[in-house]
Structure 1
Amino acid sequence: MLNIVHMFNYLGHAGTEMSVYNTINEIKDKANIIIIYSKDGPGRKLFEDINIPLIQIEMTRTFDIKAANRLKEICLENKVDVVHTHFLREHSIAVLSKYLGNKIKIINTRHMLLENKKSVIYINKLLSTKTDRIIAVSKAVEERLVSEGIPREKISYIPNGIDLDKWQSPSQEDVRKKYNIDKDTIVITSIARFRWEKGHKFFIDSIKKYFELIESEKINKKVVFLLVGDGALLESITEYAAELKIKEHLIFTGFKDNVRDYLKASDCFICHSQYEAFGISILEAMACKLAVISTDSGGTREIIDDNLNNGILVTYGDTQKLAEEMLRLTIDDELRNSLGQNGYKSIANKYDLKNLAEETLKIYLK
């Protein structure tokens, strides 16, 4: 069997770590896999629970020569064939180890769609010369890579996948009961790290307009918003909601590892990112047959398709439009249900985790 290393600087619990976990869980019986990481985080338990060995090494910066030498030692000791990286720091260390004589194949997945500085674009282009394959999680990411000078023939498009069976299993926690939400209340949910590119301020401004519409149109509906996630901006966003006098309608749950239970307690899902390379949370919401509204922010338009009537796209920053669409789903039960059903059907085959994990395995074997 192949011996594969996945590298992370920080073992978090965001979309990247979850997509890697899902893929590893699918192929772990077909390859020997090791996780090399630098900083502990909530994602560590994910890999421990499926018995993936973890090795911690210090990675203080890009092109860390000490870390590169340690990586080379680990690869020699474990007869590693492939090193798969996911972010710039680890990628640079893997490439540096190759210059130091580490005879490995390097695969890099680009999970982000943020606009890079010229210096980062230059480094990525330099690293690509010693990288055997680059995986883009969306067509939008693929086009960004090409625009930054990465040869298209070096790129493989493999989107994130989802195990629909897992998302159909019963909830383990009664979220509505936990937060005293009755069965007649409409629950609108967002799941995202509180980082600037995730657009929480835009979402809060849209919620403010939403309640203004509710009041002006005298709509008698009980509504609560669940904002699931943690991050550097959580406190400031919470304070901003209080300033706008809408905090009583919001529940900030903090980090939750059972997001399925929160989705299953919901009626609608909102993705409000300014930049979204793919949108694994949209797949998760659709797997739970929720109506989805998303910003048209890169990879999201590859999931939500007007021709399939499987969701609603809005322009990032258009608070009025997002408020209006949230209101439309609040009062139109039939539309909400049809979007949920169509969303589920649209992802059932296209984003099947087993098939996409096999595609990744084929790249390792080439």
Structure 2
Amino acid sequence: MLKVLYLLNYAGKAGTERYVQTLVRYLKDEKIDAYFAYNEEGLLVERMRGMGVPVFRIEMRSRFDFRAAKELAELCKRLGIDLIHCHYLRENYIAMLSKRRNPGVRVVYTSHFILANDFMTRLSNRILSPKQDRVIAVCTRGKEQLIRNGLDPKKIRVIFNAVDPTVWSSPEKSTLREEFGIGKDEFVMLCASRFAGDKGHKYLVDSLGLLKTLTDRPFRMVLAGDGPLLEETKEQVQRLGLQGNVVFAGFRQDIKNLFDGSDLYVNSSQHEALSFLILEALASGLPAVVTDMGGNNDIVNQEAGCGILVEYDNPESMAGAMKTLMEDKELLARYRKGARRIVEEKFHVRTMIEKTYEVYEAAMAGGPAEA
């Protein structure tokens, strides 16, 4: 059984942490012995311990932290680690540097972003590329950007993020409407994103202001999450007179409760690789209106028939899509069916787990990245 160390600088509560938790949950004890190392404490540390995963802390101050690389190499030797699975450039560089002291260990890197690297980072990528065993891109555009960033295309494999539809498809009685006093006739939209600049809340609220002028149907937008721009977004809602249309639900752990009480999921992000929240919403039977950014078009497209792609930072595009699904019941119902179908066919966790383990095996054997 492979011994795999998952290495993450910040063990928080976002999509990357959910990705790691999913791999460990489905691979641990059947395919791998799992271990976890981190730098900054967060919710994932607690969750790893709850799953019986040995947890270790390694201070990682920069990408070229040679002391951290030495400590990582010693830890992997002591535990007999076969493979390190990294998730950001800092950890990935440190893991590759650790191979100087522990050359037998393999390093797999999953890129969770679609961001252009600067010149020095591209140069570093090319220099370190021979030490990189395999790379996973979570969406098609992600692979394209990794190649532009200087990584070896022969080592990259696209494996979509995925969810377990059985967890999300069973309907539950939602308390959402009761909790926030939402009427039965109101159309409920949900956006569950951290209040940060790249999540597009300003543009989303502007779209809601426009939507209010385009339709007579009552609606509520439930904004779930926390973050540095929360208060600024609340002020914008107040300024536009949308207090009766927007609900600030705070950070929630009962996301399925929110899905089951909503009619539509909305993603307004500027940067998105492959959102777990979009996939979970679809698996719950929610159609989606999402920006045509990052990997969103791998999920929502004409073939999938589960929602509408809109132009980022274009309130007319976003408001028009929301209005269409608010007022066209037949289309909404068709997209509901498409939402569950596309998850089963393309984004089932079983597929993600099988393909990821294939990458582990290829890294150990030195075989091709693509199956």
TM-score (norm 2): 0.92
Q: Secondary structure at the match of 2:8?
A: strand
Aligned to 1:21: 21
Aligned ranges for residues 93-132 of structure 1 at < 5 Å?
93-132=94-133
Displacement after TM superposition at 1:246 (Å): 1.5
Over 3 Å counting, the alpha-carbon distance change for 1:172 and 1:308 in structure 2 is closer
2:249 corresponds to 1:248: no
Q: Please list the CA deviations of residues 329-365 of structure 1 after superposition, one character each: whole Å capped at 9, or x if unmatched.
A: 1122222121111121122121111122011112212
Of 250-259 and 293-302, deviating more is: 250-259
Q: Whole-Å Cα distance in 2 between the matches of residues 242 and 124 of structure 1? A: 46
8 Å CA contact 2:173, 2:260 repeated in 1:
no
Distance between the aligned counterparts of 1:353 and 1:77, measured in 2? 32
Shift of 1:274: 1.2
2:367 match:
none
Instruction: Kindly indicate whether residue 263 of structure 2 is the aligned counterpart of residue 262 of structure 1.
Output: no
Give matches, 1:1-366, under 5 Å: 1-29=1-29, 30-171=31-172, 174-214=175-215, 219=216, 221-366=217-362
Cα RMSD (Å): 1.7
Give the letter aligned to residue 102 of structure 2.
Answer: G
Shift in Å at residue 170 of structure 1?
A: 4.6
Deviations 1:256-303 (A, max 9, x none): 222122111110011111121122222111101112111110211111
Looking at structure 2, the residues matched to 91 and 295 of structure 1 have their Cα atoms a distance apart, in angstroms, of 29
Q: Which runs of 4+ in 1 moved over 6 A?
A: none
Query: Which string of whole-angstrom CA distances, capped at 9 and with x for unpartnered residues, describes residues 122-147 of structure 1?
Result: 33333322110000101111111112
Partners of 2:43 and 2:234 in 1: how far apart?
A: 23
Q: How far apart in 1 are the matches of 2:149 and 2:332?
A: 40
Paired residue secondary structure (1:107)? strand
Equivalent position amino acid for 2:21 in 1? Y
Q: Aligned equivalents of 1:38 and 1:306: distance in 2?
A: 42
Give the Cα–Cα distance (whole angstroms) in 1 for the partners of residues 228 and 127 of structure 2: 31
Separation in 1 of the partners of 2:176 and 2:346? 30
Asked if the contact 1:292–1:340 (Cα under 8 Å) also holds between the matched residues in 2, the reply is no
Q: Which amino acid aligns with 2:235?
A: E
Contact 1:135–1:156 (8 Å) recurs in 2: yes
Aligned partners of 1:321, 1:173: CA distance in 2, in Å? 30
Cα distance in structure 1, aligned partners of 2:53 and 2:171: 26
Pair 292,245 (structure 1): closer, same or farther in 2 beyond 3 Å: same
Secondary structure at 1:141 match in 2: helix
Counterparts of 1:128 and 1:235, CA distance in 2: 43
Does structure 2 retain, via aligned residues, the 8 Å contact 1:290–1:337? no
Q: For this pair of structures, how many residues does the alignment match?
A: 361
Q: Aligned letter for 1:25?
A: R
Instruction: Could you tell me which runs of 5 or more consecutive residues in structure 2 were left unpaired when the two chains were aligned.
Output: 363-371
Structure 2: distance between partners of 1:250 and 1:310: 24
TM-score by length of 1: 0.93
Of residues 166-175 and 318-327 in structure 1, the stretch that sits farther from structure 2 once superposed is 166-175
- How far did 1:172 drift? 7.9
1:58 partner letter: E
With over 3 angstroms needed to count, the CA separation of the structure-2 counterparts of 1:226 and 1:81, relative to structure 1, is: same
Superposition deviation, residue 101 in structure 1: 3.4
Name the CA distance, whole Å, in 1 between partners of 2:336 and 2:53.
Answer: 35
Seq. identity, %? 33
Q: CA deviation at 1:51?
A: 2.0
Distance in structure 1 (CA, Å) of the matches to 2:131 and 2:251: 37
Is the CA contact (8 Å cut-off) linking 2:267 and 2:291 kept in structure 1?
yes
Structure 1 gaps of 5+ residues are none
Task: State whether residues 275 and 297 of structure 1, in contact with CA within 8 Å, keep that contact through their aligned partners in structure 2.
Answer: yes
Please report how far the alpha carbon of residue 236 of structure 1 lies from its aligned counterpart in structure 2 after TM superposition: 2.0
Shift of 1:206: 0.7
Contact 2:188/2:219 (8 A) holds in 1? yes
